[in-house]
């Protein structure tokens, strides 16, 4: 009797659901306040971890085994952040620390160099403009990566910058209206110390379609090096604090606060 009564019970429930007046079912909707965006704290936690590792790595009185274990943890961090510590350890009195730091730097340099070699071979084997544009851009970015991460120093950095600009110019010859290429060109010229030409490249990127708020931090950086603080404040007003990273947003808020305080002082 269980299957029989079970089927009858299910039919009764389905009929009750179908026959019940839907008007009695209320689904209240209310307006809620828009949630406030908060930047993730992972970057701050990573800074704390790097600070702790730096304390251990640079303390030559600690046991070499402890320092070596801490050194191996640096391979989990981006080379941009781990590079300065590794270069300082190249003159460490402990052989294991010095050799391990050198091997970590050499491994990252070799990885980027292998990508550059593969792209150079691919560039020599293709004549299609679209593919050559992609390869030229990638070669420029990889050479820039060597400089940006600090893996290339002194003469090697100058060579990498020159190669990055050479490939970038060839990419721009194929796609002269590509804003990302002009933005990268501005960063390369700014790193080389050619601020005036870098500013022209950033403005050309804006004319080609780059949003003004994306170029504003780079133009503000150029203005700061030129001691043009009024231009820095003007550019920081264009920065969208909600979309930039946790490194730029405090700087933008600082310069905006200076703008307000300057206006208040002028009114007084």
Which string of b and e fits 18-50 if b means at least 16 CB within 10 Å? eeeeeeeeeeeeeeeeeeeeeeeeeeeeeeeeb
Residue in this structure with the two tokens 């979309």, named with its chain if needed = 243
Return the residue matching tokens 């390869």: 135
Cα–Cα distance measured from residue 218 to residue 223, given in angstroms and rounded to the nearest whole number: 9
Please write the tens of the pLDDT for every residue from 74-110.
Answer: 777 888 778 888 888 888 888 888 898 899 899 999 9
Residues 157 and 222: their CA atoms lie apart, in Å, by 20
Q: Is the pLDDT of residue 73 over 60?
A: yes
The answer on pLDDT for 230 being more than 50 is yes
Out of 149-153, 217-221, 257-261, least confident range:
257-261
What is the pLDDT at residue 46?
47
| pLDDT of res. 43 | 47
The reported pLDDT for the residue numbered 39 is: 54
pLDDT attached to residue 67 = 85
Per-residue pLDDT at 50: 52
Inter-axis angle of helices 179-192 and 154-174, nearest 10: 160
CB 167 within 8 A of CB 137: yes
Percent of the chain at pLDDT > 90 equals 44
**Which residue blocks in the chain are alpha helix, DSSP H?**
2-19, 42-57, 64-73, 79-88, 95-124, 129-148, 154-174, 179-192, 195-207, 212-225, 229-236, 248-267
Task: Give the per-residue pLDDT at 264.
Answer: 43
Q: Tell me: the pLDDT tens digits for 135-187? A: 999 999 999 999 988 888 889 999 999 999 999 999 999 999 999 999 999 99
Q: What angle do CA 37, 39, 43 make, to 5 degrees?
A: 170
Which stretch, 20-24, 35-39, 178-182, 192-196, has highest mean pLDDT? Answer: 178-182
Which pLDDT score is estimated for 115?
Answer: 94
CA distance 182 to 137: 11
Q: Could you tell me the sign of the dihedral formed by the alpha carbons of 206, 209, 212, 213, in that order? A: negative
Q: What is the pLDDT of residue 241?
A: 82
Distance CA 241, CA 258 (A): 16
CB 123 within 8 Å of CB 136: yes
Distance CA 79, CA 104 (A): 9
Grade residue 262 by pLDDT with cuts at 50, 70 and 90.
low
Which residue has better confidence, 36 or 143?
Answer: 143
pLDDT at 116 over 50: yes
Contact 259, 234 (CB under 8 A): no
Give the residue from 187, 176, 188 showing the smallest Cα distance to 129: 176
Burial (CB count <10 Å: 0-12, 13-18, 19+), residue 82: buried
Half-sphere exposure of 194 (CA within 13 A, CB side): 15
Structural tokens at position 224: 């700061």
3 or 205, greater pLDDT? 205
CB-count exposure of residue 122 (10 Å: 0-12, 13-18, 19+): middle
């Amino acid at each position: 009797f269980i299957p029989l009564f079970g089927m009858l019970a299910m039919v009764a429930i389905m009929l009750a659901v179908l026959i019940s007046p839907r008007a009695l079912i209320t689904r209240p909707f209310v307006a809620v306040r828009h949630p406030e965006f908060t930047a993730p704290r992972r970057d701050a936690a990573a800074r704390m971890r790097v600070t702790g590792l730096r304390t251990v790595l640079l303390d030559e009185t600690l046991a070499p085994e402890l320092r070596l274990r801490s050194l191996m943890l640096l391979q989990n961090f981006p080379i941009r952040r781990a590079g300065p510590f590794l270069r300082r350890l190249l003159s460490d009195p402990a052989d294991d620390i010095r050799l391990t730091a050198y091997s970590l730097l050499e491994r990252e340099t070799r990885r980027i160099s292998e990508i550059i070699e593969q792209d150079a071979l691919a560039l020599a084997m293709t004549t299609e403009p679209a593919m050559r544009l992609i390869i030229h851009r990638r070669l420029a970015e990889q050479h820039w990566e060597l400089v940006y991460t600090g893996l290339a120093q002194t003469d090697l950095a100058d060579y990498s910058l020159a190669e990055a600009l050479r490939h970038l110019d060839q990419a721009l010859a194929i796609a002269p209206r590509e804003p990302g290429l002009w933005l990268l060109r501005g960063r390369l010229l700014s790193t080389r110390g050619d601020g005036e030409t870098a500013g022209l490249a950033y403005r050309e990127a804006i004319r080609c379609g780059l949003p003004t708020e994306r170029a504003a931090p780079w133009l503000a950086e150029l203005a700061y090096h030129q001691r043009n603080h009024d231009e820095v404040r003007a550019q920081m007003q264009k920065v969208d604090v909600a979309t930039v990273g946790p490194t730029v947003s405090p700087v933008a808020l600082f310069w905006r606060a200076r703008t307000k305080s300057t206006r208040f002082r002028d009114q007084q």
